[in-house]
């Protein structure tokens, strides 16, 4: 199969990019499950944008820099924050309907780390509204094709085709696994765009959907791209605590609208940790909850918004309330139990705001990328913003390529060779390794770290990676095996990055080095295969 542009991922970044590509370019979007299944679909809070006084561009920049704890690239922050209004307008043109206030303006919410109300939302299901409207628009474009249930196995580079994977050269496309047939097909492309989201499934407890297995980061790293700041994994402070809830996210906006964090005894505690209390940046809130749970021996804390009344809660948080009710909790009448869970990957494939990576012909956008926007900790609701703005910048770069002489046609990619691989009669090994990985990542590479824990984790992942690699070459490749292989790659990147940072900063908190050290570590952690 051949196309002009291959987009891997179907969330806000991938779809927004596809919709803005030149109409003359054939765009193939692949998604590894249902076309709507993406991290975007589950985003509740909204998208940050400074639109009206008294808010300002400068204030949004300042809040983003403060949250990033000294590692943001100011020029990138300014470019993405400045790109918010046109990105919002493009979403509205695609049909996205943001909630309005009584006067007809946007009903702006507030979240932790923000000094003003600047969160555009659609009740508490913003991501679903964006995903559905972008999909509907993309399906009506003649130059865009969307293939569901396609799993990208690996990127193909000119170096790999020439037998020299250490010198990647230009990206030529990818091998793609069809879930329905099990066949692996080469897809050649002039440009390949990674929009695969994050890697929350590397952890036992996560707010992310099952698809968040770090595929883009892992494939790019194996292809020779640079990966940066993987130690900064954001844990969302408030996920619903229930054995069947699968860490259902309770939006930051609940605290933004007055929700109070309490111990199981009913005592509020956030004032002891930060002057902004519940509206402190996420890293501080998550560590505070983690500390209170460990010192008090409780399995969870409580989030209380009952004082806002049933009418307000029903209108502002209809979906969250309904979900809580399905598990027997009425947030309008009682505090709900919450715990932190892995939520967002602040690091990723090193890329410019226009998505360009160190590998020619390979772009990375959205959560898959590390641009310098988030630094050591992402400001709430800057994720959808980054995806939308990067998509526009990447599409503009793409359009510039296609205006002149288009990128060179991709070389033919040889058919996938199964060789002597056979069907596995030990698929339980995959599920066992998956659970083992997620468990030790949670225990040793979580909210609070030590060098000893990280070294234990490194030892475990090295052994596990060898097992998985052997399994990958011995048996027929399956979607589960692809995801496990990618998770193992990403987990090792997280661990090695965390071990390299001998300080505490933002989302990386190491008890052995509790202070921030700008002199030695005021820089990105960058890893490259073989370097």
Do residues 425 and 197 lie in contact, with contact meaning Cβ atoms separated by under 8 Å? no
Identify each DSSP E strand in 181-257 by its residue range: 184-194, 227-228, 233-240
Closest CA to 124 of 305, 293, 289: 305
Tokens of 304: 């209380």
Number of Cα atoms under 13 Å in the Cβ half of residue 332? 16
Length of the chain: 531
Do residues 411 and 158 lie in contact, with contact meaning Cβ atoms separated by under 8 Å? yes
Element (H, E) at 336: strand 336-345
35 is catalytic: no
Of 222, 255, 282, 485, which residue is the catalytic one?
Answer: 282
Task: State the virtual CA torsion across 365, 370, 371, 376 in degrees, nearest 10.
Answer: 140
How many helices, marked H, and strands, marked E, lie in the chain?
16, 17
Do residues 187 and 7 lie in contact, with contact meaning Cβ atoms separated by under 8 Å? no
Do residues 259 and 305 lie in contact, with contact meaning Cβ atoms separated by under 8 Å? yes
DSSP character at residue 170: S
Residue 292 to residue 282: CA distance in whole angstroms: 15
Residue 96 to residue 99: CA distance in whole angstroms: 10
| Residues designated as active site | 282
């Amino acid at each position: 199969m051949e196309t002009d542009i291959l987009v891997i991922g179907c969330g806000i970044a991938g779809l927004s990019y596809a919709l803005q590509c030149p109409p003359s370019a054939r765009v193939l979007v692949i998604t590894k499950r249902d076309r709507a299944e993406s991290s975007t679909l589950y985003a509740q809070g909204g998208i940050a944008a400074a639109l009206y006084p008294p808010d300002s561009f400068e204030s949004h920049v300042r809040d983003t820099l403060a949250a990033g704890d000294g590692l943001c690239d100011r020029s990138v922050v300014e470019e993405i924050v400045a790109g918010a209004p046109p990105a919002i307008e493009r979403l509205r043109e695609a049909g996205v309907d943001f909630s309005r206030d009584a006067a007809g303006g946007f009903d702006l919410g507030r979240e932790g780390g923000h000094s003003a109300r600047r969160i555009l939302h659609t009740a508490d299901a913003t991501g679903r509204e964006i995903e559905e409207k972008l999909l509907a628009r993309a399906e009506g474009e003649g130059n865009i094709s969307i293939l569901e249930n396609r799993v990208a196995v690996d990127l193909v580079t000119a170096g790999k085709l020439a037998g020299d994977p250490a010198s990647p050269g230009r990206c030529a496309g990818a091998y793609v696994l069809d879930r329905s047939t099990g066949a692996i097909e080469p897809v050649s492309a002039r440009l390949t765009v990674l929009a695969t989201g994050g890697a929350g499934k590397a952890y036992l407890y996560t707010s992310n959907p099952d698809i968040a297995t770090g595929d883009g980061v892992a494939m790019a790293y194996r292809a020779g791209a640079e990966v940066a700041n993987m130690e900064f994994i954001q844990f969302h402070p408030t996920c619903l605590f229930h054995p069947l809830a699968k860490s259902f996210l309770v939006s930051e906006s609940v605290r933004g609208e007055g929700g109070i964090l309490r111990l199981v005894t009913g005592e509020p505690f956030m004032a002891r940790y930060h002057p902004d209390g519940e509206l402190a940046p996420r890293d501080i809130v998550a560590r505070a909850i983690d500390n209170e749970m460990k010192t008090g021996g409780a399995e969870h804390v409580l989030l209380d918004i009952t004082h806002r009344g049933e009418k307000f809660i029903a209108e502002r948080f209809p979906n969250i309330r309904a979900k809580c009710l399905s598990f027997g909790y009425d947030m309008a009448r009682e505090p709900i139990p919450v715990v932190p869970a892995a939520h967002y990957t602040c690091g990723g494939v090193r890329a410019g705001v226009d998505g360009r990576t160190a590998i020619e012909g390979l772009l990375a956008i959205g959560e898959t990328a590390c641009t310098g926007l988030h630094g050591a900790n992402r400001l709430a609701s800057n994720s959808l913003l980054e995806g939308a703005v990067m998509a526009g910048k990447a599409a503009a770069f793409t359009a510039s390529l296609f205006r002149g002489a288009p990128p060179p046609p991709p070389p033919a990619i040889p058919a996938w060779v199964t060789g002597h691989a056979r069907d596995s009669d030990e698929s339980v090994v995959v599920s066992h390794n998956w659970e083992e990985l997620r468990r030790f990542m949670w225990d040793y590479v979580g909210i609070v770290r030590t060098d000893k824990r990280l070294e234990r984790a490194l030892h475990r992942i090295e052994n596990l990676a060898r097992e998985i690699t052997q399994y990958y070459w011995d048996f027929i490749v399956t979607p589960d095996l692809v995801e496990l292989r990618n998770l193992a790659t990403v987990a090792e990147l997280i661990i090695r990055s965390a071990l390299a940072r001998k300080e505490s900063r933002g989302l990386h908190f190491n008890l052995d080095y509790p202070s921030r050290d700008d002199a030695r570590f005021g820089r990105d952690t960058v890893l490259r295969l073989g370097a």
